[in-house]
Structure 1
Amino acid sequence: MELIDVDKIIIVEGKSDKKRIQQIINEPVHIICTNGTISVTRLDELMEDLYDKEVYILVDSDDSGDKLRRLFKREFPEAEHLYIDRMYREVASAPYQHIATVLLSANIDIHTHYL
């Protein structure tokens, strides 16, 4: 996976999370889905591709999201962790405005009509 053309990477759990975020962002950002889990082999491959990139972790506020977040904190401490409010639990079900605010706080350009 060559990520040469983008500087920002967002790691999410699922395809519905990716679709929701793609609608909101207004700059070239590569969004990677882990599908809820990630193998050691896949993580090693990612680590090589993510070197010198701005990496953001945006996962659900549930047990599987917390587990992924802990893994990335341990294996890739340079990544910036973004959090949705626990009341929404899932990125895919959080309001667009909330996700837009979270992304904007990380200096990710968003479509302003989501604010």
Structure 2
Amino acid sequence: MGRSDAQRVLDATLLDVLRYFRDDVEVLGAWVESDTSICVVYRRTIDPELILGGRFTFPPHAAPDDPESSGQAFAEELREPIGVGGFRGAVDAAGTHWLGMAEPPACPFGAAAR
């Protein structure tokens, strides 16, 4: 049995951060949330005091029927500026700013992992 689409998206996201954005983004935690979403907790060198969180959903994938393409696109999003609307979101008990989310997702690692 092969990896799920969600695991393939997560793996591609983490790989691309390591390959291309390691000087810009530090991933603090990441997990498959469901068959159609992953969550990533991270910080960026341009604003290192902020711990950010994002939920990325699919399909559709960035390229049709290509889960890795979504992971590559999500990795690039992690280094992008937040924008004015980005701070409209939940802040969890660990101080992670969940961009654009009304409620933070359940972190399988617990707050102490960050």
State TM-score, norm by structure 1. 0.31
RCO higher in structure (CA 8 A, sep ≥6): 1
Structure with a larger share of its residues in helix: 1
Structure with a larger share of its residues in strand: 2
State TM-score, norm by structure 2. 0.31
